């Protein structure tokens, strides 16, 4: 364990923590492979302190009317935009994604906070006059209280903003447990929230491992938990939270397919696939990792176009403008990706482009994996069944449309899928029938815009409500229904009959 690096602290009750940390974890620069900082790992007492702070702040924050909260959120957006370059550089240095990609990470998060600023409208209840004789009924949307988010390394700005933005707009206070691999940006976002006018304790950040996660879920004051990460952990957290009577939305892994029909613009499809498969080194839950060309002629042409484009890609340090994509997040991630590439070779897939063993001059210790392309992958292979979470694209050839439609529909995961075609009827049929939660038509990464909802099906998502959009407000609020009758001066005596609308 290194000791000569700065420690990235928690952010609790409006301030960075300053006490010495008995437990820390190294934070690497993936481009160089060197340790650049350490991050504090929270004890149960520190998690409790964060929840204490959020509980104290709840009364003040929830008492603000939604419009005043929205104004603070919009000021937060302004501050994030003012500091976007600073945040993106920090994100690139800790995650490994390129600077432009890091800017996109921040922007997609900001868009959800902008949507959340519509809370005055989105929190409106319903009203019915004369539901019975002289009786009115109305409903209220009220905040839950203290809520928590547990977010992954691959989007250290976007997903915390997705979760915190709507939760805060709805009047809740928030405890964020981000990934310890790239922890600096979440702390900076919390500082900017305080500067924007949020009361101390409204947004707290605690770093940690499983013990911190368990402490959050076990605290009876935490009313809801949102998680994004791998499927086994998503399912475990969902079950853990449910046993304690908490709301939970937990999103897991993916194996996103792109079906390419014979009539598709193959040049456009190849460009889209290269960006969607290898952008951010494939470390996106919506990355395309399986291409499904329909027919041998389509497959042969597509593979040739993909090989040509892949061989022209530049893998390099995250902050170099010439890099198409940077390193993966850790040495462990690189080892797992390279192991699965070998598994694909051993199982009989055709390795068209091998991305192993990449050496970047002056960055030989960085965590680099080059773009990798497999052809003639079959559904039984591990590289098709498992999420590789790296720059690896598998081509599974389908003999016809129905076989292509079945591949994503029958897969364990159901996060995202795309179809490339010029045929509107085929696209409509595909979007209607495919058993996947998010669909793109000639769009390779179909992440919905902020005012729609994001969420996968099957083993990609656990919980009844999805992230952002109207579902976000439903998740972070509880509905109260009020039935009102004012005395008319007429006494009717006691009634022992069940009230009915008629």
By annotation, the residues acting in catalysis are: 285
* Cα dihedral 44, 47, 52, 55 in deg (nearest 10): -130
Which of 471, 98, 141 has the alpha carbon at shortest distance from 463?
Answer: 471
Rounded to 5°, angle at Cα 157 from 153 and 161: 120
Write the burial class of residue 456 (CB in 10 Å: 0-12 exposed, 13-18 middle, 19+ buried): buried
What span, in angstroms and rounded, lies between the C-alpha atoms of 35 and 19?
22
DSSP secondary structure of 117-138: TTHHHHT---EEEEEETTEEEE
What span, in angstroms and rounded, lies between the C-alpha atoms of 142 and 367?
46
Which of 70, 123, 121 has the alpha carbon at shortest distance from 480?
Answer: 123
Q: Which residues of 362-387 are buried (b: 16+ CB within 10 A; e: fewer)?
A: ebeebbbbbbbbbbebeeebebbebb
What span, in angstroms and rounded, lies between the C-alpha atoms of 499 and 502?
9
Sign, CA torsion 318/322/323/324: positive
Residue 9 CB neighbour total at 10 angstroms: 19
| 66-82 and 99-116 helices, crossing angle to 10° | 170
Contact call for residues 178 and 8 (beta carbons, < 8 A) = no
Sign, CA torsion 41/45/48/52: negative
Rounded to 5°, angle at Cα 38 from 34 and 41: 140
Structure tokens at 189: 């976002």
Which of 184, 236, 161 has the alpha carbon at shortest distance from 39?
Answer: 184
Contact call for residues 422 and 263 (beta carbons, < 8 A) = yes
Structure tokens at 162: 């997705």
What span, in angstroms and rounded, lies between the C-alpha atoms of 130 and 150?
45
């Amino acid at each position: 364990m290194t000791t000569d690096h700065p420690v990235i602290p928690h952010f609790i009750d409006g301030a960075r923590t300053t006490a010495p940390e008995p437990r820390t974890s190294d934070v690497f620069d993936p481009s160089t492979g060197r340790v650049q900082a350490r991050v504090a790992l929270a004890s149960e007492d520190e998690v409790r302190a964060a929840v204490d702070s959020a509980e104290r702040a709840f009364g003040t924050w929830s008492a603000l009317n939604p419009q005043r909260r929205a104004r603070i959120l919009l000021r937060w957006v302004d501050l994030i935009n003012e500091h976007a370059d600073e945040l993106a550089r920090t994100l690139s240095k800790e995650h490994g994604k390129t600077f432009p990609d890091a800017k996109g990470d921040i922007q997609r998060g900001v868009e959800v906070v902008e949507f959340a600023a519509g809370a005055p409208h989105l929190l409106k209840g319903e009203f019915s006059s004369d539901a019975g004789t002289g009786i009115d009924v109305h409903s209220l949307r009220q905040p839950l209280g203290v809520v928590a988010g547990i977010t992954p390394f691959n989007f250290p700005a976007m997903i915390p903003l997705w979760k915190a933005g709507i939760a805060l707009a709805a009047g809740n206070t928030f405890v964020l447990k981000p990934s310890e691999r790239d922890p600096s940006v979440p702390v900076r976002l919390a500082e900017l929230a305080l500067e924007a006018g949020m009361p101390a304790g409204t947004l707290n950040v605690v770093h940690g491992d499983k013990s911190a996660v368990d402490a959050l879920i076990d605290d009876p004051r935490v009313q809801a938990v949102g998680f994004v990460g791998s499927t086994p952990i998503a399912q475990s957290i969902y079950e853990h939270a449910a046993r304690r009577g908490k709301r939970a939305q937990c999103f897991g892994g993916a194996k996103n397919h792109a079906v390419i029909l014979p009539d598709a613009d193959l040049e456009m499809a190849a460009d889209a696939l290269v960006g969607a498969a290898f952008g951010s080194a494939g470390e996106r839950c919506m990355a395309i990792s399986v291409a499904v060309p329909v027919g041998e002629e389509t497959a042969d042409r597509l593979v040739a176009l993909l090989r040509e484009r892949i061989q022209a890609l530049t893998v390099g340090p995250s902050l170099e403008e010439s890099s198409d994509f940077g390193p993966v997040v850790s040495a462990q991630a690189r080892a797992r990706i390279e192991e699965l590439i070998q598994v694909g070779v051993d199982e009989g897939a055709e390795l068209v482009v091998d991305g192993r063993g990449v050496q970047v001059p002056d960055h030989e210790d960085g965590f680099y994996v080059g773009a990798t392309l497999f052809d003639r992958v079959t559904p039984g292979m591990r590289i098709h069944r498992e999420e590789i979470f790296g720059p690896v694209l598998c081509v599974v050839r389908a003999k016809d449309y129905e076989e292509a439609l079945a591949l994503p529909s029958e897969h364990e995961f159901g996060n995202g899928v795309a179809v490339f075609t010029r045929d509107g009827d085929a696209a409509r049929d595909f979007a209607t029938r495919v058993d996947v939660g998010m669909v793109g038509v000639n769009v390779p990464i179909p992440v919905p815009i902020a005012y729609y909802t994001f969420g996968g099906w099957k083993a990609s998502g656990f919980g009844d409500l999805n992230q952002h959009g109207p579902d976000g407000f439903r998740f972070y609020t509880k509905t109260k229904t009020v039935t009102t009758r004012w005395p008319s001066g007429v006494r009717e005596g006691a009634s022992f009959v069940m009230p009915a609308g008629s």
